[in-house]
Amino acid sequence: MSSPHAAQILVASNRGPVSYTLREDGELDSRRGGGGLVSGLSAVGGDADSLWVCAALGEGDREAVRRGAGEDGVRMLDIDAEVHHAAYNDIANSVLWFVHHMLYQTPLEPVFDAAFRQQWAAYRTYNRAFADALAAEAAKGAVVLVQDYHLALVPGMLRELRPDLRIGHFSHTPWAPVDYFRLLPDDIGEELLRGILGADRAGFLTRRWADAFIGCCTEVLGGTGRTRIGVHGLGADAGFLRARSHEPDVERRMQELRGRIGGSGDRKTIVRVDRTELSKNIVRGLHAFRELLDTRPEWRGRLVHLALAYPSRQDLAVYRDYMDEVRRVADAINSRYGTDDWTPVVLYLKDDFARSLAAYRLADVALVNPIRDGMNLVAKEVPVVSDHGCALVLSREAGAHEELGPDAVTVNPYDVSGTAAALHEALTMPGPERAERTGRLAAAATALPPQRWFLDQLEALTASP
Ligand code: F6P
């Protein structure tokens, strides 16, 4: 049943808009996150009766829940830590993420055994906790927007508890093609699809991912039932980015980066900014940079690869190993080619948004070469922020390629030699062409700003079927 202060618009996601850390003196520090959903939800205004339901992720968050210290408009669920670990790390990030991004080394993995079944039971429990909380908080006929692969079972569970609600589910990842999706045990695949089909509307970032979902539903279940399918290609927030990227801390980072690039202002830069995420293909990007230096000696001493690779999902060994590999390959390139006054790869491994914006502003070429990516907002942000125009080398497997492909230099992310050639092409693109393409890329990248993206989903969900 709904609570007396029931909400009209609810968002549910694993990671919420705020996180807490416990200081040594026992006080709690809170930090607001950014991202499309945060600015999207701001579109409905502070007065709207909205509620964001999310999980407590660390000790600080759990303590905030215990102290009742949460912010207005946010409800954090203090789900048992072991249940959360199994649901988030073992299922969401080690199975569902791997399926949708096609990351398995299939001769040895995945293995769906008894341990997996236990983890799956935890994933159900965790989804159930969200469904219960949403059912308790939602006003009659309210709209609930459930986010991502962590919460794929929530729509079905919630539908049973509260048939009066308008439920949307949105996938921020790609969706696996049916042959790959079928790696999952049959009953689990069915449960996942039925979970999402509990929603009135299932949203995706591109037509390609929506079609893959429809393909899975058709093959596995015989159709999508009454659920409508929508495509909403989240764009960059131009106003915010342009203002934020001219603040003093960004100017200071530009000075610092110029110092690290060295030379007398004549060196070119290839920039990449990513979470150190298996799907981002950072290692092959470094191999491509090395091949460029191997095969085109004219670039030696004249080019720097700025790689900003921020830690992500460090609870998982495979992510920690991947980060080590990024470091190892970068070091190997620097040992082979570096000189007293030239470091070919400048690697930053600490998250720093001001530095990312500074790198965007300086970039001659942006390298965005994921194996597979729901959208990739870096590809959309660089052209908006770039000072002098930036050529974009873009994987055809990134969702953003659907909109940016015509003005990018397209690569197959597995083709290292092809990527090296694309980097050369991008570096030698004539200035006027580069500027024109950047203008068109920026226009395409900002076509659907986060607030519009969010409102479109709300409107589609409240419109009669
Ligand atoms: O695309 C899926 C997603 O949940 C994004 O929304 C987010 O940027 C990313 O993964 C971060 O994941 P995590 O919450 O595991 O750090």
> How confident is the model over 149-191, as pLDDT tens digits?
999 999 999 999 999 999 999 999 999 999 999 999 999 999 9
From the CA of 425, how far away is ligand 1's center (Å)? 32
From the CA of 148, how far away is ligand 1's center (Å)? 9
Check if the beta carbon of residue 303 is closer than 8 Å to that of residue 270: yes
| CATH top class, domain 238-445 | alpha beta
Stretch 268-277: mean pLDDT, rounded?
A: 96
Tell me: pLDDT of 8 over 80: yes
From the CA of 123, how far away is ligand 1's center (Å)? 17
pLDDT band of residue 38 (cuts 50, 70, 90) is confident
From the CA of 280, how far away is ligand 1's center (Å)? 13
pLDDT digits (tens, 9 = 90+) for 229-244: 999 999 999 999 999 9
Stretch 444-463: mean pLDDT, rounded?
A: 95
Tell me: pLDDT of 1 over 70: no
pLDDT band of residue 70 (cuts 50, 70, 90) is confident
From the CA of 152, how far away is ligand 1's center (Å)? 14
Tell me, using a 6 A CB cutoff, whether residue 312 lines ligand 1. Answer: yes
Instruction: Give the model's pLDDT for residue 40.
Output: 79
Sort 54 into a burial class: Cβ within 10 Å, 0-12 / 13-18 / 19+. Answer: buried
Instruction: Give the model's pLDDT for residue 36.
Output: 73
Tell me, using a 6 A CB cutoff, whether residue 437 lines ligand 1. Answer: no
Tell me, using a 6 A CB cutoff, whether residue 277 lines ligand 1. Answer: no
Instruction: Give the model's pLDDT for residue 166.
Output: 98
Q: Whose CA is nearest to atom 3 of ligand 1?
A: 172
Tell me: pLDDT of 46 over 80: no
pLDDT digits (tens, 9 = 90+) for 404-430: 999 999 999 999 999 999 999 999 999
Note whether 7-234+451-462 and 238-445 share their fold: yes
Instruction: Give the model's pLDDT for residue 118.
Output: 98
The closest alpha carbon to 121, from 191, 171, 19, belongs to: 191
pLDDT band of residue 431 (cuts 50, 70, 90) is very high
Tell me, using a 6 A CB cutoff, whether residue 276 lines ligand 1. Answer: no
Give the helix/strand (H/E) hosting 268.
strand 268-275
Q: How far apart are CA 376 and CA 367, in angstroms?
A: 12
Helical ranges in 308-449 per DSSP H: 317-337, 353-362, 377-385, 401-404, 416-427, 431-445
Whole-number percent of the chain with pLDDT over 90: 93
Instruction: Give the model's pLDDT for residue 34.
Output: 76
CB under 8 Å to 133, separation ≥6 — which residues?
53, 75, 77
Give the helix/strand (H/E) hosting 158.
helix 154-161
- Looking at every residue in the chain, the average pLDDT score rounds to 96
Residue ranges of the domains in the chain?
7-234+451-462, 238-445
Q: Report, in angstroms and rounded to the nearest whole number, the Rg of the chain calculated over CA atoms.
A: 23
Stretch 56-79: mean pLDDT, rounded?
A: 93
Instruction: Give the model's pLDDT for residue 35.
Output: 75
Choosing from 93, 147, 172 the residue with most ligand 1 atoms within 8 A of its CB, the one to mutate for a pocket test is: 172
Instruction: Give the model's pLDDT for residue 322.
Output: 97
Tell me, using a 6 A CB cutoff, whether residue 361 lines ligand 1. Answer: no
Atom of ligand 1 nearest to the CA of 374: 1
pLDDT digits (tens, 9 = 90+) for 88-125: 999 999 999 999 999 999 999 999 999 999 999 999 99
CA distances to 37, 174, 302, 388 from 241, rounded to whole Å, are: 15, 25, 29, 16
From the CA of 279, how far away is ligand 1's center (Å)? 12
From the CA of 362, how far away is ligand 1's center (Å)? 26
Architecture per CATH, domain 7-234+451-462, reads as: 3-Layer(aba) Sandwich (3.40)
Tell me: pLDDT of 373 over 90: yes
pLDDT band of residue 4 (cuts 50, 70, 90) is low
